[in-house]
Structure 1
Amino acid sequence: MAVLLLDRPAMFELSVAIEVWGNDRTALGVPYSEVRLCSNVGPVLQVAVGCEITVRHGLEALDWADTIVIPNGDLTTPAVDYDPEMVDALRCAHQRGARIVSFCSGAFVLAATGLLDGCTATTHWAYAKQFRARYPGIDLREGVLYTCGDGMYTSAGTAAAIDLCLHLVREDWGAEVANTIARRMVVPPHRDGGQAQFVEQPVAASADVEGDLRAVLQWVEGHLDRQLTVDELARRAAMTPRTFARRFKAATGTTPLQWILNQRVAAAQRMLETSTASVDAIAAQIGFGSAAALRQHFTRVVGSTPSAYRAAFRHAA
């Protein structure tokens, strides 16, 4: 992976790319990625907060990378004035099959290549008017966290870069790896961007919960095929249902029944990715009772039908 830095790069978006792909998490089952920072500006870049970044690679890194991330763009520079060598390098990378990703105002740089003409894209809402004025041939979507298409990906402002990164991780390595990274980053359990996306909702697992609730959650994770009630779980925790529900929400951020539902959906995702079991068989194994119930809840939580999810992510198993 190459991260293309312009002058005065945004530290948050740069850090997101490094946090997701630049940390060695092979001990947790996350495949290793080599990340190279590159720039056409110079070996030392000034950052807005008053520090400097030393960059070891130039545009030649774009010839090597299978994924190219553009954290932000310089909006004071007219599109026609973007470095022609950089623009050509991005076009060539896309032509050979590299995936190009922009965060926030990085969409302006990607748009300057002409590769987004006739496609959908997004950027920070504050730049929407400016983006439309510069690139009227691009279908700008303001109500989404990110867009995908033809090997190009754009994300909305700042934290939406995390959502897009998790989507890309899931495309490459599957839901289990994406969820591992999400929990390590402690991302919010829900991101509402007004669109159906495949982004994992990293609800707490039993290993994330301390104290006397952990054993109950571990038992639930091993018995998702059963019809589970709050009363039954409260008895196992030796608490009243009211106390159990209060303690449970404080520990996990959600209600017991919603947590169970999300665990079942996560189990369905893993089985759809890693097995050839039918939707009916998966529904029976994880406690939904019927394929219709699985489809209903899966579509609401994930934003895709089980069949469509399997078709999109089965290769990542």
Structure 2
Amino acid sequence: MDRSSNSGIKRVVFVIYPGVTLLDVTGPIQAFSSANNTEAAQRERIYDVVVASPEGGMITTDCMVELGSVSLEQAAEIPIDTLIIAGGDGVFDAVEQDSLVEWIKQRKFDSRRVASTCMGTFLIAAAGLLDGLSATTHWRHVEELQNRFPNIQVKRDPLFIRHGNVWSSAGVTAGIDLALAMIQEDMGHEAAMQVAQTLVVFFKRPGGQSQFSDILTIQAAEAGGLFADLHAWIAGHLQSDLSVTTLAERLAMSPRNFARKYKDSIGVTPAKTVEMMRVNAAKRMLVKSHRSLAEIALNTGFIDEQRLRRAFHRHVGTSPMAYRETFGEALVE
């Protein structure tokens, strides 16, 4: 187990500022704190978490909750193992603070890791830490990040990206995925798994997995609600014939016209939506029942286990049984 400071404790410093997103800070902090209580920690304190801001003191977050902080000067008095720049709408004021940007720039050379959560990527980009590299941020700000820093390859989909000792993560809860990846690197797979189970989050969503869930993608796409009733009907008839012909008949449209309008409106084919909804239903059954994989496949319209496994891997990035094992301790009696 690698420990960078003389005391053997890894100092994780979160940089915040007025308008920082609360969950960008507290989500990863909870992950590191929970790691101290895992069996792998062997009753030793592995992480010491510090919250810092340019001047120190109480900082008001996006939801008006105040967080206490030490100054950047105080934070740097003891070696920093991992520096994490939190995101939030206040980042656009923060990037104009030359002293803050310069302080972050220096940390690349004297910290083992420098990372950003969500919109915090704007700050590490301003510090030049991402020059010539790829990075990610909250999906709403991908284009703005790319426009401000054209020498960075900004990627919309990944949950987090790592280049050497520089990491960036996507929107809000992706910061927890980033923290889990760091915990795994420091303490091993089992420790990270224990933290994920404690927080009741999935371990591990691959860094390259999309920051959107499949169902959220569908819901966000149909702003006009043209296919809302059809989606509700599909969700209640997953065992039925859900071919393009059947779905088109529900809307009194020709199969060709239906398929074209659906793809134009939703962004995916009707068959893709059906598969997404069946996988989503399978996920619920896996964690809320003792049904066998064969039963779940039949009840969600996949017919057989092999088809369910293939679809599950495509959308979730892991096997159905690994997914059940991850959540089973907390949710399956």
For the pair 1:70 / 2:65, whether they are aligned, the reply is: no
Selected match of 2:21 from 2, 5, 10: 10
* In structure 1, distance between residues paired with 2:31 and 2:115: 14
Shift, 1:52, TM fit: 2.0
CA gap 1:172/1:27 in 2 versus in 1, 3 angstroms: closer
Contact 2:82 2:111 in 1 (8 A): no
2:162 aligns with 148
CA gap 1:254/1:301 in 2 versus in 1, 3 angstroms: farther
* In structure 2, distance between residues paired with 1:138 and 1:253: 47
1:249 aligns with 286
Shift, 1:135, TM fit: 0.3
1:168 aligns with 182
* In structure 2, distance between residues paired with 1:3 and 1:194: 24
Shift, 1:42, TM fit: 3.6
Residue identity opposite 2:93 in structure 1: T
Contact 1:145 1:156 in 2 (8 A): yes
2:37 aligns with 26
* In structure 2, distance between residues paired with 1:43 and 1:88: 20
CA gap 1:176/1:256 in 2 versus in 1, 3 angstroms: farther
For the pair 1:48 / 2:56, whether they are aligned, the reply is: no
CA gap 1:45/1:252 in 2 versus in 1, 3 angstroms: same
1:89 aligns with 103
2:271 aligns with none
Residue identity opposite 1:66 in structure 2: D
Contact 1:37 1:55 in 2 (8 A): yes
Contact 1:125 1:156 in 2 (8 A): yes
CA gap 1:148/1:156 in 2 versus in 1, 3 angstroms: same
* In structure 2, distance between residues paired with 1:253 and 1:105: 41
* In structure 1, distance between residues paired with 2:189 and 2:171: 24
Secondary structure in structure 2 of the residue aligned to 1:69: strand
* In structure 1, distance between residues paired with 2:164 and 2:208: 22
* In structure 2, distance between residues paired with 1:125 and 1:27: 33
CA gap 1:255/1:170 in 2 versus in 1, 3 angstroms: farther
Q: Deviations over 1:62-120 (max 9, x none)?
A: 452110111115244384x2x22222222221112431110000000010001101011
Identity within the alignment, %: 26
CA gap 1:43/1:253 in 2 versus in 1, 3 angstroms: farther
Q: Deviations over 1:259-289 (max 9, x none)?
A: xxxxxxxxxxxxxxxxxxxxxxxxxxxxxxx
For the pair 1:125 / 2:162, whether they are aligned, the reply is: no
For the pair 1:158 / 2:172, whether they are aligned, the reply is: yes
Q: Normalised by the size of structure 1, how large is the TM-score? A: 0.59
Shift, 1:154, TM fit: 0.4
Residue identity opposite 1:29 in structure 2: A
* In structure 2, distance between residues paired with 1:253 and 1:72: 40
Shift, 1:248, TM fit: 8.2
* In structure 2, distance between residues paired with 1:252 and 1:61: 48
* In structure 2, distance between residues paired with 1:34 and 1:85: 25
Gaps of 5+ in 1: 197-244, 258-299, 303-317
CA gap 1:249/1:24 in 2 versus in 1, 3 angstroms: closer
* In structure 2, distance between residues paired with 1:88 and 1:39: 14
CA gap 1:106/1:47 in 2 versus in 1, 3 angstroms: same
Secondary structure in structure 1 of the residue aligned to 2:31: helix
CA gap 1:114/1:22 in 2 versus in 1, 3 angstroms: same
RMSD: 3.4
CA gap 1:114/1:184 in 2 versus in 1, 3 angstroms: same
CA gap 1:11/1:36 in 2 versus in 1, 3 angstroms: same
* In structure 2, distance between residues paired with 1:32 and 1:115: 27
Gaps of 5+ in 2: 1-11, 211-281, 295-316, 320-333
Contact 2:55 2:71 in 1 (8 A): no
